[in-house]
């Protein structure tokens, strides 16, 4: 059946959300061959990074809450995407937990694996009681702000998704560089393949919306600056977050931070100050 897909900004939308929803990828457990992990536990830093990634990938609901209290909830194409995105990330997190469990040595779990299972208390993204993914503004303030921001806020929210995606991608890249285990490599490649469509949607939407509207770009700059990265930081401890950013972006590890700088700077309407602010939050 023929369907039209116009959006709020100029230009055609290429990403087929309906096709994405129809072909969503669920549990990966049957495809993971983790037998090689039984022979030797994962290096601690890889183990801990994967455990934190499992928490971050699963932390979709607080982010959904934050964006859906605004005008974003009215964009049915975006909400359809987010529903499927959350579903796929749930199963990515599940796969990561499987790897972490298989790669935990017989002596028991290193530091972060408890966090992978645990709920919440005292987390890195918490400021006061709001503990939101985007640092400190509760749903009431977001909803009130949303009243005046209109459609342009959708582009800003998608920019958050895009940057988060870039940050987690950098972490996966580090995991691949730090682990020689074949099972880890195959699993991470599989996860990255699932995430590829998320990246494509965010990238396409953000470019179109931010270049079509100066106001969308302005809101995006503000949201990017006030966010605690990565988005799910509200679900991990301060120590876990700093270990994670150190692992991913620590200066000894080459170009991760510079690559991210390049990707951010290439986004329409994102200025040097905003890029610097995001990177500062990640450099530790």
Partner 1 sequence: MGFDIDRYTATSVSVHWDDLDLEDFRRHPLPPDSLRTLRYMADVEYHTVCYTRDLLTTPSHREADVSAFMTMWNREEFWHGEALAAVLAMHDVTVDYDVLKANRLKLGWKDRLDPIKQSVMGSLVGADFVAVHMSWGAANEWSAITAYQRMAELEEHPVLAELLRRIAKQEARHVAFYTSQARERLAASSKARKITRFALSRFWAPVGSSINTAADVRHVMTHLMSGPDGRRAARKVDDSISGMPGLGGLTIVQDALDELGIPA
Nearer to partner 1, 165 or 181 (CB): 165
What is the enclosing helix (H) or strand (E) of 248?
A: helix 238-249
Residue 226 Cβ vs partner 1, minimum distance, rounded to whole Å: 19
Question: What is the three-class DSSP state of 96?
Answer: helix
Nearer to partner 1, 7 or 36 (CB): 7
Nearer to partner 1, 116 or 167 (CB): 116
* Residues within the interface to partner 1 (CB under 8 A): 1, 3-6, 17, 21, 24, 27, 58, 60-62, 64-65, 68-69, 73-77, 79-80, 82-84, 86-87, 90, 117, 119-120, 129, 131, 138-140, 143-144, 146-147
Nearer to partner 1, 146 or 281 (CB): 146
Measured CA to CA, the distance from residue 264 to residue 280 in angstroms comes to 13
Helix 152-178 and helix 256-265, axial crossing angle in degrees, nearest 10: 160
- Of the candidates 179, 150, 13, 145, the one whose C-alpha atom is nearest the C-alpha of residue 74 is 150
Measured CA to CA, the distance from residue 249 to residue 235 in angstroms comes to 20
Nearer to partner 1, 179 or 228 (CB): 228
Residue 48 Cβ vs partner 1, minimum distance, rounded to whole Å: 20
- Of the candidates 69, 94, 83, the one whose C-alpha atom is nearest the C-alpha of residue 20 is 83
Residue 275 Cβ vs partner 1, minimum distance, rounded to whole Å: 30
Measured CA to CA, the distance from residue 249 to residue 283 in angstroms comes to 6
Residue 141 Cβ vs partner 1, minimum distance, rounded to whole Å: 9
Structure tokens at 76: 């049915």
Residue 132 Cβ vs partner 1, minimum distance, rounded to whole Å: 10
Rg (CA), the chain: 19
Nearer to partner 1, 123 or 221 (CB): 123
Region for residue 269 given its phi and psi (left: phi exceeds 0; alpha: psi -120 to 50; beta: otherwise): left
Residue 75 Cβ vs partner 1, minimum distance, rounded to whole Å: 6
Measured CA to CA, the distance from residue 226 to residue 212 in angstroms comes to 23
Nearer to partner 1, 60 or 179 (CB): 60
- Distances 216 to 75, 206, 208, 273 between C-alpha atoms, Å: 15, 9, 10, 17
Residue 26 Cβ vs partner 1, minimum distance, rounded to whole Å: 8
Structure tokens at 232: 């799910």
């Amino acid at each position: 059946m023929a369907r039209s897909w116009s959006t709020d900004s100029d230009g055609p939308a290429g990403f087929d959300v309906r096709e994405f929803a129809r072909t969503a990828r669920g549990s990966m457990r049957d495809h993971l061959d983790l037998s090689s992990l039984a022979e030797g536990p994962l290096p601690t830093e890889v183990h801990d990074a994967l455990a934190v990634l499992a928490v971050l990938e699963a932390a979709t609901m607080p982010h959904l809450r934050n964006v859906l209290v605004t005008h974003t909830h009215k964009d049915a194409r975006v909400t359809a995407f987010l529903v499927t995105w959350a579903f796929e990330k749930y199963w990515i997190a599940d796969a990561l937990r499987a790897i972490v469990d298989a790669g935990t040595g017989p002596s028991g779990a290193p530091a972060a694996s408890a966090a992978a299972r645990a709920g919440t208390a005292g987390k890195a993204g918490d400021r006061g009681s709001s503990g939101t993914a985007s640092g400190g503004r509760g749903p009431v303030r977001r909803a009130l702000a949303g009243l005046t921001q209109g459609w342009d806020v959708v582009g800003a929210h998608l920019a958050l998704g895009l940057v988060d995606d870039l940050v987690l991608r950098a972490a996966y890249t580090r995991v691949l560089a730090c682990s020689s285990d074949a099972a880890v490599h195959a699993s991470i490649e599989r996860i990255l393949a699932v995430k590829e469509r998320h990246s494509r949607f965010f990238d396409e939407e953000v470019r179109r919306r931010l270049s079509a509207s100066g106001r969308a770009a302005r809101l995006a700059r503000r949201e990017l600056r006030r966010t605690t990265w990565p988005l799910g930081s509200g679900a991990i401890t301060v120590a876990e977050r700093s270990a994670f950013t150190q692992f991913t972006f620590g200066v000894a590890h080459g170009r991760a931070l510079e690559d991210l700088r390049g990707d951010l700077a290439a986004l329409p309407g994102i200025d040097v100050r905003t890029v610097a602010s995001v990177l500062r939050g990640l450099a530790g």
